[in-house]
Amino acid sequence: MLSLQNLTALRGQCPVVDDITASIEPGEFIGLIGPNGAGKTTLMRAALGLIAHRGESSLAQLDAMARARAAAWLPQAREIAWGLSVAELVALGRLPHGRDQLGAGAHAVDAALTRMGLENYRERAATQLSGGEQARVLIARALAQQSPLILADEPIAGLDPAAQIDTMEVFSAHARAGGAVLCSLHDLGLAARHCSRVWVMDRGRLVADGAPADVLSEALLAEVFHIRAHFQTTAQGPVFQPLSTLDR
Amino acid sequence: MSYRAILICLAVLVLALFTASLLIGPSGISPLQGLGALFSGEGAPGLVMRELRLPRALLGVGVGAALGLSGAAMQGFLRNPLAEPGLIGTSAGAALGAVIAIQTGLYAVFALALPLAALAGAGVAVALILTLAGREGRALVLILAGIAVSALAGAATALVLNLAPSPYAAAEIVFWMMGSLADRSMTHVLLATPFLILGAMILLKTGPGLDALSLGEDAASAMGISLKRLRLQIVFGTALMVGAATAVAGAVGFVGLVVPHLLRKAVGSRPSRLLPASALGGAAMLLTADIATRVIAPERDLKLGVLTAIVGAPFFLAMIRKMGRET
């Protein structure tokens, strides 16, 4: 789905993304974690070819329209200009597929609206909705794009707990259906429960890559996040709770 | 009302106003006589219809469509309802070119010197903007470059006025800058048409890109929209249309700002649909304003740009108040 070879992105002279080699296979839901400023957003934007980079990204090599059909991008800033209706906004996700608003396109839009529980919002102006509802509309737009890969930058930031879990489940389902998701987030607990794999970034480098239970070790948490945490696999799945910060 | 119905209504309105513009004037030709004379071209009425009113009405449509369409494109591109076509400096550049043609007396020797100089001015402004805003530049850089170029052209225009050889030349310049469609010939129409058509073709193609931009620059480029190309389309399309409009009509404000506002809700706020609707709406508004200059004060030569500003500014204030209450 995505393969990165020695991907490097510079800000001035300083590498914000430093020599990252990794790949994503179908069926994977990857949580991209790391402290603020670790380079998570820059990694995703460089992988999409939205910013100048060295090294290779399989996505960045595609032409713009083919890339848009291969990968959908949910930026962190939830921008919605003008008072577009929810249905029209979600239909923007069909742009990379040309003019098929009546057939497959309309079907994809309906499915995305249903999946995000927005059927009753179709004609509402998206700008009049609450922040959480807008987040759902924007995710629906990405789903309507029907690209196998979804890259999402902190999609659950600012959402209530139910909406956070629901968003993670939408992504899990997308991965189970044969797609893949790369999603940056700060909630390690949700990452541990929902992601099939996590990538840990620290100061531009990919410092760990594997199943959450293997990666979120005491040593790594101390080294990268400067925290101590409780992490246990229970009958109700993995439970992760940060406890305290460590002296730096 | 459906989008198609809105476009049809606007088109009918433009056609009606175009006919009204042909039939209203100081020479006292009756409507039937006027239409007959337009087709036969015979006698004094034929001359008036074909040489004075027809170019005036045609330019009303062209200039209005140019201002409405480029206003809608500019607002969509900058995602800012306060953007207007003059923002990127082309109208200020065109005005400077025209003013220089008046100042040097060139236009007295050669009638087309004025619009040609105005077009050249608009061209120089675009070249400057693109150099200043660089190749990668985002929307904000474009706005700032536009403001800088407008300020420069405005200052140069003031200098030309300052150095005007006589009060008559100064008055001539001032009156030209107020904008008007009076006493234009078919030559003006023929000169402006290719630029207007080319500009309209470029701007009407930006629809999908502008729609995608509603989700922000990053999301739009990830959806396959080339922002670099979109920016060039907007700058060139606007420059061609506004440059040509300013060259033949002078500075006409507020149409490009107000028309997209008026129609936005009706087309469901979708930037791509606002483009053709605003082109028609702009034509309707300009024709109305031009007819009004003839009806309100037929003997005083009321200037078109003055009228659009006097009506447009309070109207705009009212809209801003309404927006303030909604949010």
SS (H, E, C) B155-169: HHHHHHHHCCCCHHH
| pLDDT band for position B311 (cuts 50, 70, 90) | confident
The per-residue pLDDT of chain B, averaged, comes to 89
DSSP state of A208: E
Lowest mean pLDDT among A103-117, A187-201, B126-140: B126-140
Confidence band, pLDDT 50/70/90 cuts, at residue B197:
very high
CB-nearest to B222 from A48, A79, A81 is A48
pLDDT band at B51 (very low <50, low <70, confident <90, very high): confident
Strands (E), A48-172: 54-57, 71-74, 149-153
The residue ranges of every structural domain in chain B are 3-326
Q: Which two tokens stand for residue B314?
A: 């309070």
Give pLDDT, residue B135: 66
CB within 8 Å: B214 and A82:
yes
Only one residue has tokens 């909705």, namely A129
For the segment B148-156, the average pLDDT, to the nearest whole number, is 94
Q: Tell me: the pLDDT tens digits for A43-84?
A: 999 999 999 999 999 999 999 889 999 999 999 999 898 889
CA nearest to B265 within chain A: A83
Q: Is B253 exposed, middle or buried (0-12, 13-18, 19+ CB in 10 A)?
A: buried
All residues of chain B having their beta carbon less than 8 Å from the beta carbon of residue A64 are 221, 224-226
Contact between chains at B223 and A93 (C-beta distance less than 8 A): yes
Note the CATH architecture for domain B3-326. Orthogonal Bundle (1.10)
B282 to chain A, minimum CA–CA distance in Å? 20
Candidate from A69, A77, A84 with C-beta closest to B216: A77
Query: Sheet harboring A14-24: ordered strands across?
Result: A14-24, A2-11, A54-57
Find the mean pLDDT for residues B245-269: 91
User: Hey, what are B185's tokens?
Assistant: 């010939």
The number of residues in chain A equals 248
Which of A85, A92, A128 best tests the B interface by mutation, with the highest count of B CBs <10 A? A92
Residue A6 pLDDT level (bands cut at 50, 70, 90): very high
Q: Under an 8 A CB cutoff, do A68 and B223 touch?
A: yes
Q: Is the pLDDT of residue A101 over 80?
A: no
Which pLDDT score, from 0 to 100, does residue B14 have? 97
pLDDT at B138 over 80: no
Which pLDDT tens digit goes with each residue over A140-185? 999 999 999 999 999 999 899 999 999 999 999 999 999 999 999 9
Report the pLDDT value the prediction gives residue B326, as an integer from 0 to 100.
63
Question: In which domain, by residue range, is A223 found?
Answer: 2-245
Say whether A84 and B214 touch across the interface (CB within 8 A).
Answer: yes
pLDDT greater than 60 at residue B327: no
Say whether pLDDT at A90 is over 80.
yes
Query: Which is more confidently placed, A139 or B142?
Result: A139
Q: Looking at the predicted structure, is the pLDDT value of residue B283 above 60?
A: yes
> CA dist B58 to A23, B21, B49, B125, Å?
61, 9, 12, 27
For A220, residues 6+ apart whose C-beta sits below 8 A from its C-beta are: A200, A207, A208
- pLDDT number for residue A102: 59
Q: Is A113 at the interface with chain B, CB within 8 A?
A: no
- What does DSSP say about strands A2-11 and A14-24: parallel, antiparallel, or unpaired? antiparallel
Residue B267 is given by DSSP the state G
CA separation for the pair A72, A151 (Å, rounded): 6
CB contact under 8 A, B215 and A85: no
Residues of B with CB under 8 A from a CB of A: 79, 208, 211-216, 218-219, 221-226, 264-265, 268-271
Compare CB distances from B268 to A64, A73, A88 and report the shortest one's residue.
A88
Q: Is the model's pLDDT at A100 over the cut of 70? A: no
Which range (A55-64, B240-249, B295-304) has the least confidence?
Answer: B295-304
The tens digit of pLDDT for each residue in B52-97 reads: 889 999 999 999 999 999 999 999 999 888 888 888 888 999 999 9
Sign of dihedral through CA atoms A94, A95, A97, A99? positive
pLDDT category of residue B243 using cuts at 50, 70 and 90: very high
**Residue A125 phi, psi dihedral angles, 5° rounding:** -75, 125
Across the interface, do B79 and A82 touch by the CB < 8 Å criterion? yes
Q: Are strands A180-184 and A29-33 parallel, antiparallel or unpaired?
A: parallel
pLDDT, mean of residues B268-287: 95
Question: Is the pLDDT at B200 greater than 90, yes or no?
Answer: yes
Tokens encoding B271: 């930037």
Residue B205 per-residue DSSP state: T
- Over range A196-223, report the average pLDDT: 93
Share of chain B above pLDDT 70, in %: 98
Task: Provide the 8-state DSSP code for A85.
Answer: B
Give me the interface pTM, i.e. the ipTM.
Answer: 0.88
Shortest Cα distance, chain A CAs vs residue B142, angstroms = 19
Q: What is the Cβ-side half-sphere exposure of residue B245, based on CA atoms within 13 angstroms?
A: 38
Q: Does A79 touch chain B (CB under 8 A)?
A: yes
d(CA A236, CA B17): 72
Decide: B41 and B257 in contact? Cβ < 8 Å.
no
C-beta atoms surrounding B162 within 10 Å: 8
Indicate the number of domains in chain A. 1
Q: For the domain that residue A175 is a member of, what is the CATH number?
A: 3.40.50.300
Contact A83 B265 (CB under 8 A): yes
